[in-house]
Amino acid sequence: RHRPREQWTGQTGFILSAIGSAVGLGNIWRFPGVAYDNGGGAFLVPYLVALLTAGIPILLLDYAVGHRFRGSAPAAFRRLWRRLEALGWFQVMISFVIAVYYAAVVAWALSFFVYSFDLRWGDDPAGFFTGTYLQLADVGGADSWVTLDFVPAVLVPLVLVWVVTLVVLGAGVAKGVERANVVFIPLLVVAFSILVVRSLTLDGAADGLNALFTPNWSALGDPNVWIAAYAQIFFSLSVAFGIMITYSSYRRRRSNLTSPGLVVAFANSSFEILAGIGVFAALGFLAHQQGIGVGELEGLTGPILSFVTFPAIVSQMPAGPLFGALFFGSLVIAGFTSLLSILQVVSAAFQEKFGIDRRQASLRVGVVAAVVSVLGFSTTTGLIALDTIDNWANNVGIVASAVLTCVLVVWVRREAPALRYHLNTVSTVQVGRWWYAAVGVVVPAVLGYMLISRIVTLAVDGYEGYASWYLGVFGWGTIVFLVVGAAVLTATRWRVDPDRYDAWPP
């Protein structure tokens, strides 16, 4: 009673979906600020080094594991080595946690897409975002840290995002995920290109570009700049948390793996640099309007960049509503296609272990995730929780997962040669021996150092001045949740023979 494994319709569908996963909020709201803070033009050096020595090598490792063992992260890792199933579940847990807050940001973008049309934020975008829209509680002050005061303006789009996501996931890999990407990714490229060209023609654009790209070469001597580059590459390429394992498991048996990997990696980086150009050109315009230097602007990173600074730009430019709609529309598409990929990780894992079909899996996983997402992030304390959980999931969770993957697969199991052979048998571009050094030495060394230094910094300095009990529960608690969740899921019984490749769902 086994049906064949789901498949992409072809290589293009896979590439577009993998690009859809990689190109996300990280490209638009993370990269420009990170580059600016870490040496500007000089940041491109560590960034490219990180891409070549860690990003692409791990991307190929993920592809090889997913394609060779043809399963979701837990199933694929288990087939590689029984005990590695737990690592797969750890990645599934990371994906789940990221999905619940990532959906909230997509929901904000959806609201702001609508608000663009009448410039709803008025003259005070900062007050509008945290006050009128998020209704952020006075944390640590008069209000408490955790409330269940729901904010309807966030709740409604958030529920909508979840409903659409579940419908697409339930429709399957080819008819749901792939179709959504085939429509949305070209649309994103067009919308974003228009946006960038428009930004470049604004007054002051050149000052913005100078601010971003003027190299501060001394930054290259700062280890934190290098760490920032590796962290950006990992998050941005969607590697080491199960996504690329899952996506490549749906490719046909004899598929070219390396060239699509390179296409995806370079598409993602191009999009990132394009976003940097567009965002900073627009910031140059804002500075020009205010008669100050770009360096004096505030709010150049994270949520504030997208939801406060950008609205301010939109308000001041001719045909602002159109520009705003393009920007927030791009954000919605970029975020939504990434959200699909991350939930597919969770859904695929449950289908395979518990022998349920994709509709049931997306319904069950999706309902749980949606409830957690709504409870946690549509309340007046949602932003703080999001910020804290994001910081731990990214800086500790993903990094730990990448280090563990490399150490266990390359050193403990010594599978690298077999995986390289697998990559090379069908692919046109051959992976050389340098790959062993990348996944076996560079990644464990750089990321191991990064992991330890981040854990120490978080333990000693805390985060954003938040109360230590709060960081204990929402920061370190996130890590405990990942580990306990992974242990419990590993311990449950397989309802389907995990060693039958190519036969999911039952």
The interface with ligand PHE within residues 239-278 (CB under 6 A) comprises 243
Q: Which CB sits closer to ligand PHE, 263 or 322?
A: 263
How far apart CA 14 and CA 20 sit, in angstroms, is 10
Q: Which CB sits closer to Na ion, 55 or 444?
A: 55
Q: Which CB sits closer to Na ion, 27 or 258?
A: 27
Give the one residue of 50, 64, 342, 442 binding ligand PHE; rule: CB under 6 A: 342
Phi, psi of 150 (to 5 degrees): -75, 145
Residues linked to residue 379 through DSSP beta bridges, in sequence order: 150
Q: Which CB sits closer to ligand PHE, 96 or 350?
A: 96
**388 contributes a contact to ligand PHE by CB under 6 A:** no
Q: Which CB sits closer to Na ion, 270 or 457?
A: 270
- Residue 235 binding result from ligand PHE, Na ion, none, given CB thresholds of 5 to 8 Å by partner type: ligand PHE
Give the one residue of 38, 91, 236, 269 binding Na ion; rule: CB under 5 A: 236
Phi, psi of 379 (to 5 degrees): -105, 175
**7 contributes a contact to ligand PHE by CB under 6 A:** no
Angle of CA points 479, 482, 483, to nearest 5°: 90
Give the one residue of 116, 181, 309, 341 binding ligand PHE; rule: CB under 6 A: 341
- The string of DSSP codes covering 397-445 is IIHHHHHHHHIIIIIIS--HHHHHHHHHHH-SSPP-THHHHIIIIIHHH
The piece of 81-89, 106-114, 185-193, 263-271 that touches Na ion (CB under 5 A) is 263-271
How far apart CA 255 and CA 1 sit, in angstroms, is 27
- Distance of closest approach, residue 447 Cβ to Na ion, in angstroms: 18
- Which tokens sit at 97? 């946690």
- Distance of closest approach, residue 241 Cβ to Na ion, in angstroms: 13
- Which tokens sit at 387? 């910020």
How far apart CA 506 and CA 490 sit, in angstroms, is 20
**46 contributes a contact to Na ion by CB under 5 A:** no
- Distance of closest approach, residue 94 Cβ to ligand PHE, in angstroms: 10
The interface with Na ion within residues 265-284 (CB under 5 A) comprises 268
- Give the x-and-dash track for 167-186 against ligand PHE (CB under 6 A): --------------------
Q: Which CB sits closer to Na ion, 268 or 391?
A: 268
**232 contributes a contact to Na ion by CB under 5 A:** no
Give the one residue of 8, 69, 102, 504 binding ligand PHE; rule: CB under 6 A: 102
Q: Do 343 and 336 meet the contact criterion of CB atoms below 8 Å apart?
A: no
Calculate the dihedral angle through the C-alpha atoms of 111, 117, 118, 119, rounding to the nearest 10 degrees: 70
Nearest in space to 232 (alpha carbons), one of 402, 31, 461: 31
Phi, psi of 241 (to 5 degrees): -130, 35
How far apart CA 24 and CA 249 sit, in angstroms, is 21
Q: Which CB sits closer to Na ion, 72 or 268?
A: 268
- Distance of closest approach, residue 342 Cβ to ligand PHE, in angstroms: 4
Question: Left, alpha or beta for 133 (phi > 0: left; psi -120 to 50: alpha)?
Answer: alpha
- Distance of closest approach, residue 65 Cβ to ligand PHE, in angstroms: 18
Number of residues that bind ligand PHE (CB under 6 A): 15
75-83 long-range CB contacts below 8 Å, 24 or more apart? 75/349, 75/352, 75/353, 75/498, 75/504, 76/245, 76/249, 78/498, 79/498, 79/499, 79/501, 80/409, 80/413, 80/415, 81/408, 81/413, 81/415
Give the one residue of 7, 72, 236, 347 binding ligand PHE; rule: CB under 6 A: 236
Q: Do 27 and 271 meet the contact criterion of CB atoms below 8 Å apart?
A: yes
Q: How many Cα atoms occupy the beta-carbon half-sphere of 390 within 13 Å?
A: 22
- Give the x-and-dash track for 187-226 against ligand PHE (CB under 6 A): ----------------------------------------
How far apart CA 158 and CA 373 sit, in angstroms, is 8
- Distance of closest approach, residue 15 Cβ to ligand PHE, in angstroms: 15
**490 contributes a contact to ligand PHE by CB under 6 A:** no
Q: Which CB sits closer to ligand PHE, 26 or 57?
A: 26
- Distance of closest approach, residue 373 Cβ to Na ion, in angstroms: 21
- Distance of closest approach, residue 27 Cβ to ligand PHE, in angstroms: 5
**20 contributes a contact to ligand PHE by CB under 6 A:** no
**235 contributes a contact to ligand PHE by CB under 6 A:** yes
The interface with Na ion within residues 8-27 (CB under 5 A) comprises 22, 26-27
Residue 367, CA distances (Å) to 166, 195, 336, 364, 377 in order: 8, 35, 17, 5, 15
Phi, psi of 499 (to 5 degrees): -95, 5
Binding site for Na ion (CB under 5 A): 22, 26-27, 236, 268
Binding site for ligand PHE (CB under 6 A): 21-22, 24-27, 98, 102, 235-236, 238, 243, 338, 341-342
